[in-house]
């Protein structure tokens, strides 16, 4: 079923509504579910929360099955396979997630440019952060004052990236591996949603650097312009 599902959210972050066809449907412990194509719903994954939205006006919760199919849990009666449905996602939420996720790519790159090794990330609104290994960089991170100086340097570097601007593009190869490229920054494998131009980011703030249980945690926030 996976190959027959067109992941429209891979191509267009700003497709907030579409007509689609039900390609699969079923029932599990949580209730009825449907899978539609084209699919505009981003399921939770890669540190990014799932979209919220509706199918034929009924709220759905997207998730991804082990074989890569995006399924939509619903409390309403699932429409029959083959039927046409109207899909919509929460536009504000999608744009917020895309802004946070894209800012996370840039900040990850700026941390790696300092020699830090990425160990994890979360792009959830209100708690977005990147984790790095501080190994080898303990001296520059030893005190709150030093960490705040590094934070200011990261903010300055981020502002410089935003001042330059650049396109954000994604390609998916024939095996399904997707690469997201930020012009002038980097390219990395990613299945999330992103803004299409860095100028769409605003209010990017590097908030705080913390060392916790041997990990360097860099909190940040970003909004969609
Ligand atoms: Zn991404």
The predicted-structure confidence for 109-147, as pLDDT tens digits, reads as follows: 999 999 999 999 999 899 999 999 999 999 999 999 999
135: Cβ contacts below 8 Å, ≥ 6 apart:
117
Q: Which residues are placed with Cβ below 5 angstroms of ligand 1, an ion?
A: 101, 190, 192
pLDDT score for 3? 59
The predicted-structure confidence for 166-191, as pLDDT tens digits, reads as follows: 999 999 998 889 999 999 999 999 99
Q: Which residue has the tokens 């802004």?
A: 99
All CATH 3.30.980.10 domain ranges in the chain, comma separated: 93-224
Stated pTM of the model? 0.94
Closest residue by Cα to residue 51 from 115, 19, 103, 7: 7
In words, the CATH class of domain 2-89 is mainly beta
**46 sits in which H/E element:** none
How many whole angstroms from 192 Cα to the centroid of ligand 1? 5
How many whole angstroms from 138 Cα to the centroid of ligand 1? 28
Examine residue 54 and say whether the peptide bond preceding it is cis (omega within 30 degrees of 0).
no
How many whole angstroms from 99 Cα to the centroid of ligand 1? 10
How many whole angstroms from 82 Cα to the centroid of ligand 1? 32
> Taken in order 130, 183, 192, 53, is the CA torsion positive or negative?
positive
| The CATH fold of domain 93-224 | 3.30.980
How many whole angstroms from 68 Cα to the centroid of ligand 1? 17
All CATH 2.40.30.130 domain ranges in the chain, comma separated: 2-89
For the chain, give the percent of residues with pLDDT over 90.
Answer: 87
């Amino acid at each position: 079923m996976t190959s027959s599902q067109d992941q429209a959210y891979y191509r267009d972050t700003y497709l907030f509504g579409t007509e689609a066809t039900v390609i699969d449907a079923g029932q599990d412990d949580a209730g009825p579910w449907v899978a539609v194509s084209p699919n505009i719903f981003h399921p939770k994954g890669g540190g990014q929360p799932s979209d919220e939205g509706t199918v034929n006006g009924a709220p759905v919760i997207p998730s991804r099955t082990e074989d890569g199919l995006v399924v939509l849990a619903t409390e309403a009666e699932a429409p029959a396979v083959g039927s046409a449905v109207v899909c919509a996602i929460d536009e504000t939420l999608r744009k917020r997630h895309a802004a946070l996720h894209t800012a996370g790519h840039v900040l990850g790159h700026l941390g790696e440019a300092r020699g830090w090794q990425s160990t994890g990330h979360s792009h959830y609104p209100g708690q977005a952060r990147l984790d790095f290994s501080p190994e080898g960089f303990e001296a520059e991170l030893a005190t709150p004052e030093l960490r705040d100086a590094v934070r200011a340097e990261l903010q300055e570097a981020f502002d410089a990236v935003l001042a330059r601007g650049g396109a954000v593009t994604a390609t998916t190869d024939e095996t399904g591996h997707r690469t997201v490229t930020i012009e002038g920054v980097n390219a990395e494998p990613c299945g999330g949603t992103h803004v299409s131009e860095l100028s769409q980011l605003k209010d990017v703030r590097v908030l705080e650097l913390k060392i916790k249980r041997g990990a360097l945690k860099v909190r940040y926030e970003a909004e969609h312009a």
